[in-house]
Amino acid sequence: MSSASRDVRRLTGLSTEAADPRYATVDRMPVAELAAAMNDADAGVPAAVARALPQIVPAIEGAAERMKAGGRLIYTGAGTPGRIGVLDASECPPTFNTAPGQVQAIIAGGPDAIVTSKEGAEDDPLAGAAAMDDAEVGPQDTVIGIAASGRTPYVIGAVRRARERGALTVGLSSNADTELSAAAEHAVEVLVGPELISGSTRLKAGTAQKLVLNMFSTITMVQLGKTYGNLMVDVRPTNAKLRERAVRIVTAITGADRDEAVRTLEDSGYEVKLAALRIAANIDAHAASARLEKTGGRLRAAIEEAS
C-alpha cells in the first residue's frame, strides 16, 4: 500500500473527519435553525473537556513545576491550532505580566502564517523539529503540540524533538490513540466528535483547544503566584481600563480608599503587588520589594508575613 493510500485510510477513520448525518441539510436550513444547530453542537464541547480532565490535570501539574523552576510554556501547531496557540500566548503578558518568551507559540510556516494560510507547512516534520532546536527547548520547558487530527507531521516532529531535548511534552488532539498522543509524554484527547461542517476543525475542536490552553496558561500562572484569590495582581496596566482595574484590585485587597490606592500605585510604577503590600503592611517600597522577592512574588504570603 502506498503512503498516500495509508494517509487516506488514516484520515477516513478520524472522528474529526467524519460527516455527521444530523447536519446533512445545513445548506437548506434557515439562519435561525442553523444557528441553533451550531449552538447545540458547541454545547457538548465543555463536557468533552471535562471527560479529558484526568489527562489534563497531571500535564498542568508538570508544566507548573517546570515553570516554577524557570521554564517556559511553548505551544506549537499548524493552521488553526497554531493560531489558537498564538492567541493564548499573546494574552499572557498583559494579563499576568509574564516575561518575554515565558509563554510563547510557534506556528508552522512562521509568523506570516498567523494571517496568511500556509497549510503545506504542516507536512514537514523536520521543520517542526528544527523549530524546537531554534527555540533551544530544554528540560525545564513544557511543549504542547496541538493538532485536531493528532497526525500533523510538523507537530509530531516538534513534539518528538522537544521530548528528545528533555522537555515535558503534551499532545492535544480531538481523536483517540493518535500518533501525536504516542509521541508525547502526556496525551490529552478531547473527543468532540464530527464537526457541523465535516472536517472543519476550527469549530468544536478549535473551541476545545482554546478551553484547554486557557486551563494551562491560567492555572500555571495561579500556581506561580500571579493572582491574589481571583484578582489579577500581576496585570500590566497599559491603558486606562487596566489602570482602573489596578485601582479596584488594590482597594479590594487593602480596604484603602481610592485616593490612597491611586497615590500608592503611581508611586509604585503601577505595580499592583507592590502597591497593595505597601498599604497592607504599612511599609515603604524598598521593604515591600524585598518581601515580595523573599516570597517568590506571592502577594498573599507577603501580606501574611506582615501580620
Is the separation of the CB atoms in 156 and 188 below 8 Å? Answer: no
**C-alpha to C-alpha distance for 176 and 13, rounded to whole angstroms:** 10
Could you give the angle at which helices 240-254 and 272-281 cross, rounded to 10 degrees?
30
Q: Out of 122, 179, 189, 271, pick the active-site residue.
A: 122
C-alpha 65/C-alpha 86 separation (Å) is 22
CB distance 104 to 75 below 8 Å: yes
Contact 189, 195 (CB under 8 A): no
Query: Please, are residues 152 and 128 in contact by the beta-carbon 8 Å criterion?
Result: no
Rounded-to-integer distance, Cα 191 and Cα 41, Å: 13
Strand partners, 164: none
Rg (the chain; Cα; Å): 22
Q: Are 134 and 160 in contact (CB under 8 A)?
A: no
Among the options 17, 61, 91, 185, which is catalytic? 91
What DSSP string describes 180-193?
HHHHSSEEEE----
Cα of first residue to Cα of last residue in the chain, in angstroms, is 72
Answer yes or no: 91 catalytic.
yes
Can 17 be counted among the known catalytic residues?
no
Residues 6+ apart with CB under 8 A from 62: 142, 168, 185, 186
Residues with catalytic annotation?
A: 91, 122
